[in-house]
Amino acid sequence: MLNEMRTGIVSNADGAISPARSDKSGAGVVTQAHGKYTEGSIRQKICFSYCAARATSVPATAQIGNIIWNPPGSGIVLSLLKWSAQIQVTSATTLGVTIGYQAQAITPTTTTVADAYGSTYLNAGSPGNCVAKAYAIATLLVIPIPVMNLFHNTAAIAVTGVDKMDGDFEGLFTLPPGYVVVFSAIAAAVAAAGMTSTLTWEEIPI
């Protein structure tokens, strides 16, 4: 019966109805199973874009960096999740990196595809089952609008190594069909081959 509790791990197919779980003492078990993003990844709804050694530009129509386009009529919104970035070549005048967006009703032109992109279910290949398109370089219709600073930099790169910055939007920003989201430099472009970044998102039907 549904008001009973079952002890032990439950393994169900989609659509199954399960009783609540208990531990061996009979106490109810309420927990987040597996990792935070496991369910979406297994169902191939979480995607990533990796762009290596790029001279990330300030917001521009000729955009360089990490650029994600949700095509018009895609039937999905992109819910932004984790990101990471590092500046590995001294770019003191860059001052930092932002995330921004803009409308893009047609396919971007003069594009270079991201170095890797696709589902985080890692047997899918690039682009896997992802609907959105990912670019390292693209010509856009309108200059993107920054919406959040991600990190600050001004100092020279130490010879001892490079620190990686990362964060999680946790779905704070969603991108509808016909828009792009981009990483951009704040004050001046990153030096040649200076920035490597990853952006992840969930594709949610609408």
> What DSSP string runs through 119-182?
ESSTTS-SSTT--SEEEEEEE-SS--EEEEEEEEE-SPPPTT--PPEEEE-TT--EE-TTEEEE
The predicted structure's pLDDT at residue 129: 83
Looking at the chain, the whole-number percentage of residues with pLDDT higher than 70 is: 91
pLDDT over threshold 80, residue 160: no
Determine contact, residues 103/142, Cβ cutoff 8 Å.
Answer: yes
Q: Which residues contact 159 (CB under 8 A, 6 or more apart)?
A: none
Bridge partners, 32 (sequence order): none
The predicted structure's pLDDT at residue 162: 67
Determine contact, residues 113/107, Cβ cutoff 8 Å.
Answer: no
pLDDT over threshold 70, residue 91: yes
Report CA Rg, the chain.
20
**pLDDT tens digits, 37-78:** 999 999 999 999 999 999 999 999 999 999 999 999 999 999
User: What are the residue ranges spanned by the domains of the chain?
Assistant: 43-205
pLDDT tier, 126 (very low <50, low <70, confident <90, very high otherwise): low
**pLDDT tens digits, 16-42:** 777 777 766 677 767 677 889 999 999
pTM for this entry: 0.88
The predicted structure's pLDDT at residue 154: 84
The predicted structure's pLDDT at residue 92: 87
User: How many Å separate Cα 162 from the centre of its chain?
Assistant: 21
pLDDT over threshold 90, residue 98: yes
Amino acid at 88: Q
In whole angstroms, give the CA distance from residue 122 to residue 105. Answer: 30
In whole angstroms, give the CA distance from residue 197 to residue 52. Answer: 7
In whole angstroms, give the CA distance from residue 67 to residue 49. Answer: 8
Q: Who wins on pLDDT, 9 or 191?
A: 191
